[in-house]
């Protein structure tokens, strides 16, 4: 008897032609050109439709941007970023979408390119910018695809609706999946349905939405490439109704946190999946991520606030490097294990403060290292109980010998020490990312204005009260 379950997706079924194109521009007045920087701030420029159409007629449709744009923290450039020089942000018209929350507007994203080719160490010329998160992710996925492996990725987007940010107050109180989170006529119910419809109208597949466990917390499950746009929809629609949506990891310490779990399935046309065990590529992919997980977290858990969620006993993934079938206390949960067509890995060590392109690039960099070396999976399935509940001998017997980073400083250090991950991602990218992300104690002063902070950590961790820090966090994310 067939006991398989779960919705089946394949790389072929997930592919679709762009839904909107140049022909749809006649129905809009403005186009929003979006990008996401290294500290995961969604930024945009709004151009008139006349100017946008003129751009499309140019040889390389795009807009000029200072090279500092990826390294800004508030209004200051991080170390290593200069006001000298410009990129061209070339438009990817396959990403064109309507802004349902702002009639008459459409949106598009792109990639950063050099204005003229630069010479690479091997002597070849390239327009690619190594610091561009979208370009980085595409490059790594191309490397893996050349080895006969593809992936499907889906994100869970958890967020909290706030009535106020100062003081921080949730819009309502509800239990996990409780119907009171959808009270008829409530602002929350109206907002969530409008968010869901806006996501669907944007051509983004949406499976469900439901109340989560924290006060004012909800979850939607979109596809991976649309995560940035999904977040923009959530924030804009909430604001339209007088609420503030935050993706902050754990605003309320007496409740659960918000994450951005990624579900990844591995597809290799020439490798058969069976119900009784992981395929060779699935196993090597998982082994590679686990082997480099402490370094990867510098991208997936990039703020001090991230580690208030990632603790033992909070269903957040725990603090031990391990994996487990349907184990929500493991950083990697194998779900639908006995249904190979719908089997996937849930990565629980990602939150809403992470740039999604950088986070996935780091994850796939680890997976690539595992696949290209046919790495053997040495950690056993942590299925009976959580690693935190095991005795030390039990952990050793399961191959669990490493802890996750317990703070962002530890994560940065582990990244710097992982030469293999650094090589795949690129030294320049890693150094620039760390420059933006690292705390600078010399710049953190309560009396200095926000514009004087040169690092994300310094900006978020000033000498202020816990309430002031929380307000700053939920406004930033």
219 and 82 belong to one structural domain: no
Under 8 Å between Cβ of 165 and 244: yes
395 and 318 belong to one structural domain: yes
pLDDT tens per residue, range 434-476: 999 884 322 333 234 444 455 566 666 665 778 888 888 888 8
Say if 2 falls within a structural domain. Answer: no
Q: Region 140-160: what's the mean pLDDT?
A: 90
Percent of the chain scoring above 90 in pLDDT: 54
Our count of domains for the chain comes to 3
397 and 416 belong to one structural domain: yes
Q: Region 178-184: what's the mean pLDDT?
A: 62
Q: Region 340-344: what's the mean pLDDT?
A: 87
> Would you tell me how many other CB atoms lie within 10 Å of the CB of residue 468?
14
CATH number, domain of 27, equals 3.10.20.70
Under 8 Å between Cβ of 461 and 408: no
pLDDT tens per residue, range 391-432: 999 999 999 999 999 999 999 999 999 999 999 999 999 999
Please, is 146 exposed, middle or buried when counting C-beta atoms within 10 Å of its C-beta (0-12, 13-18, 19+)? exposed
Q: How confident is the model at residue 218 (pLDDT cuts 50, 70, 90)?
A: very low
164 and 122 belong to one structural domain: no
Q: Cα–Cα distance between 155 and 161 in angstroms, integer?
A: 19
Residue of 323 and 24 predicted with greater confidence: 323
Q: Cα–Cα distance between 43 and 65 in angstroms, integer?
A: 12
Residue among 291, 295, 247 nearest 408 (CA): 295
- Beta-bridged to residue 48, according to DSSP, are 30
Residue of 218 and 34 predicted with greater confidence: 34
Q: Look at residues 221, 240, 257 and tell me which one is the last residue of a structural domain.
A: 257
318 and 427 belong to one structural domain: yes
Residue among 430, 297, 361, 421 nearest 134 (CA): 361
Per-residue tokens: 389 = 């509940």
Q: Look at residues 228, 257, 286 and tell me which one is the last residue of a structural domain.
A: 257
Q: Cα–Cα distance between 474 and 250 in angstroms, integer?
A: 10
The answer to whether residue 67 scores a pLDDT higher than 90 is yes
The answer to whether residue 329 scores a pLDDT higher than 90 is yes
> How open is the CA angle 128-374-382, to the nearest 5 degrees?
105
DSSP code, position 78: P
313 and 428 belong to one structural domain: yes
231 and 149 belong to one structural domain: no
The answer to whether residue 379 scores a pLDDT higher than 70 is yes
Q: Cα–Cα distance between 19 and 94 in angstroms, integer?
A: 8
Under 8 Å between Cβ of 264 and 256: no
199 and 215 belong to one structural domain: yes
283 and 432 belong to one structural domain: yes
Query: What pLDDT is recorded for position 225?
Result: 65
345 and 417 belong to one structural domain: yes
Report pTM: 0.88
Please, is 440 exposed, middle or buried when counting C-beta atoms within 10 Å of its C-beta (0-12, 13-18, 19+)? middle
Q: Cα–Cα distance between 300 and 83 in angstroms, integer?
A: 28
Domain that holds residue 233: 157-257
241 and 290 belong to one structural domain: no
Q: Cα–Cα distance between 318 and 331 in angstroms, integer?
A: 6
150 and 171 belong to one structural domain: no
Please, is 324 exposed, middle or buried when counting C-beta atoms within 10 Å of its C-beta (0-12, 13-18, 19+)? buried
Burial of 347-370, coded b for 16+ CB within 10 Å and e otherwise, reads: bbbbbbbbbbbbbbbbbbbbbbbb
Say if 237 falls within a structural domain. Answer: yes
């Amino acid at each position: 008897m067939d006991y398989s379950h779960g919705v089946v997706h394949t790389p072929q079924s997930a592919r679709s032609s762009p839904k909107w194109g140049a022909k749809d521009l006649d129905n809009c007045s403005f186009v929003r050109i979006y990008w996401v920087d290294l500290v995961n701030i969604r930024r945009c420029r709004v151009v008139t439709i006349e100017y946008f159409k003129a751009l499309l007629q140019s040889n390389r449709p795009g807009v000029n941007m200072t090279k500092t744009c990826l390294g800004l923290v508030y209004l200051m450039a991080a170390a290593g970023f200069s006001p000298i020089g410009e990129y061209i942000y070339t438009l990817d018209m396959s990403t064109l979408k309507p802004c349902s929350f702002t009639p008459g507007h459409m949106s598009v994203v792109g990639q950063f390119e050099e204005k003229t080719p630069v010479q690479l160490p091997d002597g070849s010329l390239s327009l690619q910018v190594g610091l561009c998160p979208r370009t980085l992710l595409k490059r790594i996925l191309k490397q893996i695809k050349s080895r006969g492996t593809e992936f499907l990725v889906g994100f869970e987007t958890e967020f909290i609706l706030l009535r106020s940010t100062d003081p921080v107050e949730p819009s309502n109180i509800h239990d996990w999946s409780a119907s009171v989170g959808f009270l008829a006529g409530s602002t929350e119910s109206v907002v969530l349905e409008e968010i869901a419809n806006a996501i669907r109208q944007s051509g983004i597949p949406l499976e469900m939405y439901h109340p989560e466990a924290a006060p004012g917390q909800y979850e939607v499950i979109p596809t991976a490439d649309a995560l940035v746009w999904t977040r923009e929809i959530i924030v804009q629609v909430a604001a339209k109704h007088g609420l503030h949506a935050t993706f902050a990891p754990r605003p309320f310490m007496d409740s659960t946190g918000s994450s951005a779990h990624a579900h990844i399935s591995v597809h290799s046309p020439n490798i058969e999946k069976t119900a009784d065990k992981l395929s060779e590529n699935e196993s090597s992919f998982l082994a590679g991520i686990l082997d480099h997980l402490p370094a990867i977290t510098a991208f997936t858990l990039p703020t001090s606030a991230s580690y208030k969620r990632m603790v033992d006993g909070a269903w957040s993934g725990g603090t031990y490097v391990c994996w487990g079938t349907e184990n929500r206390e493991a950083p990697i949960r194998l779900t639908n294990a006995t249904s190979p067509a719908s089997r996937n890995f849930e990565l629980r060590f990602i939150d809403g403060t992470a740039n999604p392109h950088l986070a996935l690039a780091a994850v796939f960099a680890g997976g690539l290292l595992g696949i290209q070396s046919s790495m053997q999976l040495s950690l056993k399935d942590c299925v009976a109980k959580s690693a935190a509940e095991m005795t030390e001998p039990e952990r050793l017997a399961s191959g669990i010998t490493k802890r996750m980073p317990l703070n962002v400083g530890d994560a940065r250090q582990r990244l710097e020490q992982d030469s293999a991950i650094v090589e795949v991602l690129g030294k320049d990218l890693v150094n620039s990312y760390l420059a933006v992300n690292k705390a600078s104690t010399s710049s953190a002063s309560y009396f200095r204005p926000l514009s004087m902070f040169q690092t994300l950590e310094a900006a978020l961790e000033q000498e202020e009260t816990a309430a002031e820090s929380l307000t700053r966090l939920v406004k930033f994310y």
